[in-house]
Each structure stands twice: as structure tokens, then as C-alpha cells.
Amino acid sequence: MTGEEFAYGWAVMRDGIEKTVDIPHDAMIDRPRRKDAPAGAHNGWFPGGRAVYRRSFRMPADADERSLALRFEGVQGEAAVRVDGRLLAQWHSGYREVIVPLDGTGAPGAEVSIEVDVDHTGHPDSRWYTGTGIYRDVTVLDRPRAHIVADGIRTSFAGDGTLGHLSVDVETSAAVVAGDEIVARLVDAQGRDETIVASASAEPRDGTLTLEVDRPRLWSAERPDRYRLEVAVRRDGIELHTVSALIGLRTVTADARRGLRVNGDTVLLRGACIHHDNGLLGAATLRSAEFRRARLLKEAGYNAVRSAHNPLSRHFLDACDELGLYVVDELTDVWFLPKTTHDGADRFASAWRSDARSMVRKNRLHPSVIMHSIGNENPETATAEGVRIAAEIVDFLHAEDPRGLVTTGINFMLNAVSKPERGAGAPSLPDTTVDNSDPSLLTSTMINVIANRLGPITQAVSRLPAAERRTKDVAAVLDVVGYNYAWGRYRRDARHHPARVILGTESFAGDLARIWPRVEAIPAVIGDFVWTGWDYLGEVGIGSWTYEPGRRGTAFGKSFPHVIAGPGAIDIVGTPGAPVAYQRAVWGLSDAPEIMVRPLDVSNRPASRTAWRSTDAIASWSWPGHEGERAEVEVYSDCDDVELLLDGRSLGRKRAGRRAGYRARFRVVYAPGELTAIGYRGGREVSRAVLRSAGSARLALRLDTRDGSGADAWFVWVEVADDDGIVDTTADVSVELAVEGATLAGFGSANPAPAAETSFADRVSRTYRGRALAVLRPRADCPPVTIAAHSDAHGDAVLVIDPSADAATARTSTKGAR
């Protein structure tokens, strides 16, 4: 049972009520939101609380001869693990992986009781939604006494596509003795017939094994080829313990003259910042959900992700390896200076080494991870003590993973205007001293409020002499210097600091047309990461437009019951928005113009906008009830010009491409029909795209089958659409679901402010812009799954999923109102 996932059969107790759950599990997402929740807007108005998980476990019959442990990949809250009432481990670090040994906890063959007590009442502990409980996998590590320790393999690769050298370092348990042998094999797993392409062996204390690889296939985001590495402990010709992992062979370097190079080829990072939650699932990191997010980000045109502001899950890294996404994995949002009341700043001095070691050991066999970030917008970096801390963390990460580059996200404006000397050098800062209303103690949130109001002025502030003075020392200890919202410095800093490698670690998505020419023109600048690629829960409304009579402006946060942040280029259910169309045009990735329309039901109202979203337009020409009204149409394209037609009649031709910021705007009288955009280069048509209005629409269910077999989750679109699948985006209707053969793990929409009483855990939800999403978790015995949907206004629909088929199959039927 080596590596067995400990997913099924857990009981969780909350508020005196016990229920059965599967792991990963978020114990917060189904709790009623409250206006007086301690974390408030930070956490989407969800309360914290305490959750106690219990599960029985039968010890192996040969337990005395084996090494047993549980690996917790992520627990949000103060965690305590007990077996049969005996305390085995305690920690408070929601993103640190912790291994809890089980040796000696029970007699061979005996059944023991495992209890995980998670106290997450201390809120707010982050500036966004974190979830509660055992939100990542728990795995049983069942190994012989002589074994390779968990994450005990480290590799490095040198060479090219002609000849490569793979170095393998292996950490073993104390029971591996002189005379034992360590064997490493590199297996070509691409074809049907697997072949060993390289192998080596050595005594366990002899150090590094080197495998020579002839004509290796190199891993990159463009060609994510992988091999399987097998490492074994062998005694007297018998393999005692074998560890197998899919790895990629690649080299990564960065310098100011040649930029970022992967396998010797220059790469520009088209990056997306992402938080860790999975929308309707809360923080639960189901494998299928993580693969789905990675796949949709890749399809949107991103080739890199930055994990803002904490380490990614193993499942997400697996997806990045397989699909081809470069990763900047980030350690933390907070150092010594707190940003929220219970964010762990007082524990940073004692915790960062364990957290950093956990992150790197998780990452170092993943070819997708090309860089680690040691923090985000930490004002301590403006002080001598902060620079010393940064240098210490950088050195630590280099020792753990010599192949990895190190950066941190520096907010130049924050460093220029903050007063970080207050407590920054102290090894501990009691969280009782935090007063986020104190204007002298600037935090990332306060800087965001200022940036939202000042807009372009933030670039001027980031170029002040004080910003240079308070960042140059920390920049000198980094491999790559991360710039948050400071792209206006690129040209000057490339001249004044000729050895500095620059990465835009965070930027407004609407600034990309001005940023990307700098990225392409300045060798020292290796890419840009927009905030954000995928939307997230909490930090509510920073990217959401609101429409209130008589009110215009730039409101930063939003009031209860807003739940979604709003800046995502892709919303929380996976629908790409106008920022994706804009970014693809800027990057030159669009095959054709992309048409977006400002929603006609709100476009005639005064809008409170935000700096984190430049438009509220969506891809729809279905606005029944708004005939004759003025529609604002946006066409995104890198063509010279675009022409807009309605039912074949030209509505005009306008500049597009770089000269127009890659966006052409039209004002059109709305009428249902076919809206067409034609792209021209040199006066000749090169492409066209169409938006059609929905015909007679009714309730429909549609399975998203593109993420493997759906072993742990199925994603089902719940839509009000016509027979061609075109969604009526004015449909905001209540839908009730009934599910057989699976658990309804989440149901909801991308509505930024759903009714206060609604929950993603309910079987009733309203559509938003004509659609919602249901997430199903199949039972362990994998019976056929039936999902039935009902809407009073739009009839019924039934979807049957057969999980036993080689590929996911589904049958749909609809009936009722049209």
C-alpha cells in the first residue's frame, strides 16, 4: 500500500455535528457567510472555526519490520495529530508538508484511531480565502526499514539534445548499510514498449550517481517530454525499496545579456499569478480540479504561473509538468511585519526554514519549477535587517536546490513610502500589536487601495529616488529581481544595473500593451505576470465593477455579500473573459479577432471601476429584452484593422493592433443575429470571428471531459442555451440538482455577489450570465453517475456519466420549457 491515498472514510466533527467526508476537504466552504465574520472581506465573509477529523487505520501485519508514516500535504489551521489519543505532531503552517511517523503506534494487524484536530479560529490570517482543515492529500508512506526517504531524491541535468548527463543524489534511511547498493534507471515511458535509456549504481555513501543519456528529449513548456526515473535500494541482488517519478531533462539559466534561457533557447514568461483555491470547492485541491485549472490557463496563452503567495500543490505541479507551464513557486506573503492580525508574522523566524525546505523538497523533481520566490511585497526588504534575511533565505534555497533561481516580488512604491523599521528587525512581533488602521504601518492592502485610486501615478511613485535607495540592496542578493507594478522602471534599471535580471512579478492586466514591448525589447526583462490569471475567493471585489445609480469611481474592496475578488482573466468556474482576449492579442497568439460586448443590462449605468479590471465585456451577443439599445462592442486583435458586421451589414472599420492598444471599440444598436469581426493585414482579410445570438433556450447539462478520466471529480456545465449550445447571458434563474452515484462537491456560478444565504455546498443555485458549474466527486466503487437539473422557467435536463468506460462518456436529455 505504498503511497496509498488516504482519501475515503473520514469523519469530521464541526459545531457538534459529525459527517462523513473525503479528503481533500475544505471545512470552511459550506459554512454560512456572515457580515460579522472575523476575517470580513479578506476571507469572503466566511467564518473560521474548528474541525476534528477521525479515521481508523489497520496496521500492516508486518508493521514491526516496516517504516510507516502519514504525509499531510496541507492543513489550514493549528493542527494536532493523535493516534489512539497520543499526540504525535503539532504545527501551524497551512502550506507546509508534514510527515508524521507511525512506527510503534500500534501492534501489527491492530486497528488504530487517527485524529486530526484543526483549530482555525484565529482570523484574519491571510488577505484572501484560505479554507480550513485537511484541504490537500494525506498519503500513507509504507516502506521497508531500509528505504529512500520521502522526497529524498535530487537531480540536476547538464547537456543538450545530443548528449546529456543526469546527476542523481539519494537520501536513505539509517537502515541502509555498507554493502547495499543504490540503483538508478532512466526509462523512456513515451512509447508502448518502455526501455531503459540509462542506468547507474553506487554504494549508498558514495555520493552522486551519473547517468549518461544519448540524444535526450528535453523538457520545455512548448514540448513537455518526460522520462520515468526509478531509484532503488538493493541488497544481495534484491530490490528492497523502489521510488519512481516522472521527470523532465532541461537546463535553466538567466543573465541580463541573454535573458531567461531554457535548454539554451530564450524564453519570455507570459505569466499568470494564481491563488490556491478552487472556487466552488474552496481550498480543496482535487487532482482533476488542479489539472483543469492548469489546462485552461495554458489554453488562454499563458506559459507560466506564479503561486501567489504560497506553495502550489503537488497535483498542480504534476499538471504543469504534463501540460507545459513554467512555475515560480512562492514561499509566503508575510515576513516579520504582519499584514493581517493572525498571519503568522510572529512565527516567521522559527518557521521559515521548515516551510522553505518543505517547498523545495516537494518541487525539485518537477521540471516545471524554474524559480522560487521568497516572499511578496515585504517592506522589510527596505531595511538592512530585511536584506540580511533575504540573503539568508536565498542561500538556504540554493543549498537545497542548486539548480533553482530565486526571486521575490518587490513593490517599489511600498518600499518608497513605508516605514518598515517599526519592528522589522525583531525576531518576533506579537500579533496583538497589529493595527491595520494605523496609516504609518503600510501593508500590501493599503498600497493596493492607493494604487487603485492613483492609477498611472503609481508608476511615477515607483520611480522615485527613495524607491531605488530602498530596493537596490535586496536586489543585489537575488538571482532575478521581481517588480510588482513597477514596469516604468525597466529601461532605466536595465541601464543603471547592467547585471540585473528583471521579472514583472505582478502587474495590472490592462497595462500589458505597454509592458510587453519592453519585455520584448530589453534582454534583461524576462517576462510579466498579470494579476490574476484565475479568479479567486476573498479579497472581495478588488477587480469587480459595480453599478450604482449616481455613483462613479474606483472602489477597491466591496461590501457583504461579495465573495469573489474579481480580477481573474478566467473566472472561478473556468470561463475566459475579455482579459484573455486582450492578452492573446498582445502576445500575437490570436488566430482571429475576438469579440467582447459590455453587458447591456448594466452598460447604461454609472460604473465603479477598478485598476485590476480594464473592462467588464464578455463574449456574448445574446441580450433578449434589450433590442434597440446601444451596445458597446470591443474587438481584440493584433491585425492592422478590424471590420464589424451585423448580419452581413458593415458597421465600420477601425484600427486595431499595437497602434490601437490591440482593441477596437464600436457602438452598435443591439439586434439579435450574427456579429462578425474581420481582421485585415495590409488591406487584405486574414481572419474572421463570429458571435451569434441564442435562439430558443432551455436548461442543458454539458460534461467537461478534457481532464483525464475524472478519477476524483467531474465538472458539469449547467447552462440556459439553445440547441447549438449558445448561452442566453440574460438568464439568471434558479436551478435545483439531484445527483446519484456521486457527491455534489460544489455548485455555483461566477456571480461576484451571490445572495448572502447561498452556498457552494447547496444543491440549489442561480445561474449567472446564463451558466453555473457543478462539481461531482464519484464514489469509491465508481457506479454510473446521474445528474438531473430542474428550472421552473427552463425545464429539465438529465446527464448520465459512465466512469467505467475507457474514456469519459455521457448521455444528455432535455425536456420542458423552451
489 three-class SS: helix
Give the residue among 661, 574, 655 at the shortest CA–CA distance from 614: 661
3-class DSSP string for 194-237: CEEEEEEEECCCCCCEEEEEECCCEECCCCECCEEEEEEEEECC
Q: Which amino acid is at 502?
A: I
∠67-68-72 over CA atoms, to 5°? Answer: 135
C-alpha–C-alpha distance, residues 782 and 268, integer Å: 43
479-491: pLDDT as tens digits: 999 999 999 999 9
- Taking 70 as the pLDDT cut, the residues of the chain under it are 1-4, 191-193, 419-456, 549-556, 705-710, 805-818
Q: The cell 507545459 sits on which residue? A: 324
CA dihedral over 54, 55, 60, 66, signed as positive or negative: negative
Residue-level pLDDT at 440: 40
> Grid coordinates representing 192?
508502448
Residue 784: asked if its preceding bond is cis (omega within 30°), the reply is: no
701 three-class SS: strand
610 DSSP assignment: B
Per-residue CA distances from 791 to 720, 735, 797 (Å): 10, 5, 9
Q: Which domains does the chain have, with CATH numbers?
A: 10-143 (2.60.120.260), 148-247 (2.60.40.10), 267-539 (3.20.20.80), 588-692 (2.60.40.10), 698-815 (2.60.40.10)
315-367: pLDDT as tens digits: 999 999 999 999 999 999 999 999 999 999 999 999 999 999 999 999 999 99
> Grid coordinates representing 123?
482570523
CB 43 within 8 A of CB 130: yes
> Grid coordinates representing 89?
505532531
User: Residue-wise over 191-222: b if at least 16 C-beta within 10 A, else e?
Assistant: eeeeeebbebebebeeeebebebeebbbbbbe
Spatial strand order in the sheet of 181-188: 195-202, 181-188, 227-235, 238-247
Length of the chain: 818
413 three-class SS: helix
CA dihedral over 546, 299, 227, 206, signed as positive or negative: negative
C-alpha–C-alpha distance, residues 352 and 357, integer Å: 8
Give the residue among 748, 758, 808 at the shortest CA–CA distance from 778: 808
Residue-level pLDDT at 431: 32
28 DSSP assignment: S
Residue 25: asked if its preceding bond is cis (omega within 30°), the reply is: no
∠800-803-806 over CA atoms, to 5°? Answer: 120
CB 541 within 8 A of CB 565: yes
Q: Which residues make Cβ contacts (< 8 Å) with residue 788, sequence separation at least 6?
A: 737, 738, 739, 796, 797, 798, 799
Q: Which residues make Cβ contacts (< 8 Å) with residue 584, sequence separation at least 6?
A: 300, 301, 590, 594, 636
